[in-house]
Amino acid sequence: MACYTERVELTREELRERIEEGEGRSVEFKRGLPRDEKTARTLCAFANTRGGWLLVGVNDDGSLHGCPRPTAVIAQLRSIARDLLSPALSIQVSAVELEGSHVVATRVLLSPDRPHCVDQGKGEREYVVRVGSSNRSADGPTLDSIRAHRKRSGSLNPLESKILEWLRGIDEANSQPGGNGTPERFASVANVGVQRARKAFIRLERDGLLVGHGPRARRIYAVR
């Protein structure tokens, strides 16, 4: 698929709302545009996981810093999406004026061409996913889930529904799972067997409803 860039339609009011919501699984603030590889990892993670927004010109605490050279930042984002990601990524980006300053807003949709990877040069590449508000390298099971492009067609059983509800609660209370979203912790909270919980987590990841990070014995999960 050829890379293309569209202008994102975002009003001042909508931008304020996104900033007020704070950083999380689908929003990332940057005071200024980071180095190219770090920016590419964020775009890649959003495209592979659930989509998201990169807002340049906003401090980590949500205060407005402004982007003094929005045109140059937009051009650099386009270049990163085209040249550092494989396959090249389609993004929506534009500058929005807010309180006398500009914020460059980039929207990345969940990509139909996933998985995308970051080209690190010399033939090396990294697949990245979004877990909480962090970008993490994707391992074998995660890549298998992304490549499958599938969602559960049937209904969830009660245990699976309870797992998703529990993980969403963790994500709302703390955007970084920090080791909390594990089958072992769920088993303790829900008073079910660890093996039964682990198998349910694996099924949900396999069916594209969860994204996991880390080795199987210490795997951390979040809702896709």
pLDDT in tens, 80-135: 999 999 999 999 999 999 999 999 999 999 898 889 999 988 889 999 999 888 89
Residue 138 counted as domain residue: no
Task: Answer yes or no: do 150 and 196 share one domain.
Answer: yes
DSSP letter (8 states) at residue 218: G
Residue 25 counted as domain residue: yes
Residue 52 counted as domain residue: yes
Angle between helices 194-206 and 158-173 (to 10 degrees): 80
Question: What pLDDT sits at residue 1?
Answer: 43
Give me the phi and psi of 53, to 5 degrees please.
Answer: -125, 130
Residue 187 counted as domain residue: yes
Question: What pLDDT sits at residue 143?
Answer: 80
Cα four-point dihedral sign 48, 49, 51, 56: negative
Question: What pLDDT sits at residue 5?
Answer: 62
Task: Answer yes or no: do 63 and 107 share one domain.
Answer: yes
* Cα–Cα distance measured from residue 20 to residue 86, given in angstroms and rounded to the nearest whole number: 33
Task: Answer yes or no: do 21 and 84 share one domain.
Answer: yes
Question: What pLDDT sits at residue 125?
Answer: 92
Q: What is the DSSP string of 69-135?
A: -HHHHHHHHHHHHHHTEES---EEEEEEEETTEEEEEEEEPPPTTPPPEEEEETTEEEEEEEETTEE
Distance, CA of 2 to chain centre: 22
Question: What pLDDT sits at residue 141?
Answer: 78
Please determine, for residue 70, whether its predicted confidence score (pLDDT) is greater than 90.
yes
Question: What pLDDT sits at residue 152?
Answer: 57
Task: Answer yes or no: do 66 and 95 share one domain.
Answer: yes
- The count of structural domains within the chain is 2
More confident residue, 137 or 142: 137
Question: What rounded mean pLDDT belongs to the chain?
Answer: 87
Residue 172 three-state SS: helix
Task: Answer yes or no: do 150 and 101 share one domain.
Answer: no
Which residues, 6 or more positions from 45, have their beta carbon under 8 angstroms from its beta carbon? 52, 128, 129, 130, 135, 136
Question: What pLDDT sits at residue 63?
Answer: 96
Question: What pLDDT sits at residue 85?
Answer: 96
Task: Answer yes or no: do 118 and 149 share one domain.
Answer: no
Instruction: Kindly report, residue by residue over 171-195, the tens digit of the pLDDT.
Output: 665 544 455 789 999 999 999 999 9
Task: Answer yes or no: do 30 and 127 share one domain.
Answer: yes
- Burial level of 193, CB count in 10 A (0-12/13-18/19+)? exposed
Please determine, for residue 211, whether its predicted confidence score (pLDDT) is greater than 90.
no
Could you list the residue range(s) of the whole structural domain that residue 93 is in?
5-131
Question: What pLDDT sits at residue 18?
Answer: 92
Asked which of 76, 96, 131 is the last residue of a domain, the reply is 131
Residue 139 counted as domain residue: no
